Structure 1
Amino acid sequence: MQVAAILKRKGDAVVSADAGSSVRSAAALLTEYRIGAVLVRGPDGTIHGILSERDIVRGIALEGERVLDLPVEALMTRDVLTCRPDTSVAELMRTMTEKRLRHLPVLEDGQLVGMISIGDVVKVRVEEAEMEVEMLQGYIAGSH
């Protein structure tokens, strides 16, 4: 299975924030949409970074609650890894595991087409495993 199939199921909506907006407002977006990261984009749509719950928690641990009033760009991860719609789920899992990432923007021809989370990947793998079990059970039941 490829990333495109996951996006087809979950949709291509991506919640984003401006680099200058406050960490507090980004945290409100995370809460409102029940997500773990927001993409930080410029006015022209270019990706400037990504801000995750982990980034916010790390900031609070280091700076206290005053971090909530800082701009998103103060905490965001600037070097954002991406994937493509034709990236396989196996490759995606390997990248996310090795790099300890929970979210990857999906780019096609340099344009943002969605965001994949580790939760999306786990959901697909569980569904695939359940289907395999059903197929094997059907095979076993049919061979008696």
Structure 2
Amino acid sequence: MKVRDVMHRGAECLDDDTPISDVARRMRDADVGAIPISAAGELVGIITDRDIACRAVADGADLDQLTARDVMSKDAVCCAYDDDLSDAVRIMESRRIRRLPVMADGALVGMLSLGDVASRAGAPLSAEVLRAVSSHH
């Protein structure tokens, strides 16, 4: 099974200078928990709802002054559209991440989430990635 068979398509990438309030609105409107972040057309990070809660709100930062760059997780890892699903799952396990941007020809084409794997892959693979990603750090 390939990543393209399981991922959800149509993910959006925002610029790293996007105000954090705009990022949060985009997440709410798209009903997603993570958005990849780019700078000069390159994937440079990913911002999650947890990043916003822990790195902005909980720290008492001035939300009107923050951008995606200020709270994103840097050095986002991604996978390719044509990768074997098992290879993408290994990345998720080793990095303990729940969402993985999917690239094709240098462009973002979708996201692979823990939920995508759980709903479309077999039980053994789903259980394996869930156990690895969900364990305490």
Q: How many equivalent residue pairs?
A: 123
Residues 1:16 and 2:16 are matched in the alignment: no
Structure 2 length-normalised TM: 0.77
Return the structure number with greater relative CO, CA threshold 8 A, min gap 6: 2
- % of aligned pairs identical? 29
CA distance in 2, matches of 1:96, 1:72: 22
Please report the RMSD computed on the Cα atoms of aligned residues, expressed in angstroms.
2.0
User: Which residue of the other structure, out of 8, 24, 27, is the alignment partner of 1:27?
Assistant: 24
Quick check: 1:79 aligned with 2:75?
Answer: yes
More helix by share: 1
Contact residue 17 and residue 38 of structure 1 kept, 8 A: yes
Query: Structure 1 length normalisation: TM-score?
Result: 0.73
Give the SS at the match of 1:51. Answer: strand
Which residue of structure 1 lines up, in the alignment, with residue 36 of structure 2? 39
1:1-144 maps to which residues of 2 (within 5 A)?
1-7=1-7, 10=8, 12-42=9-39, 44-60=40-56, 62-64=58-60, 66-67=62-63, 69-125=65-121, 128-129=122-123
Structure number with larger C-alpha Rg: 1
Structure 1 runs not aligned, ≥5 long: 130-144
For 2:111, what is the secondary structure of its paired residue?
Answer: strand
* The structure with more strand, counted as a fraction of residues: 2
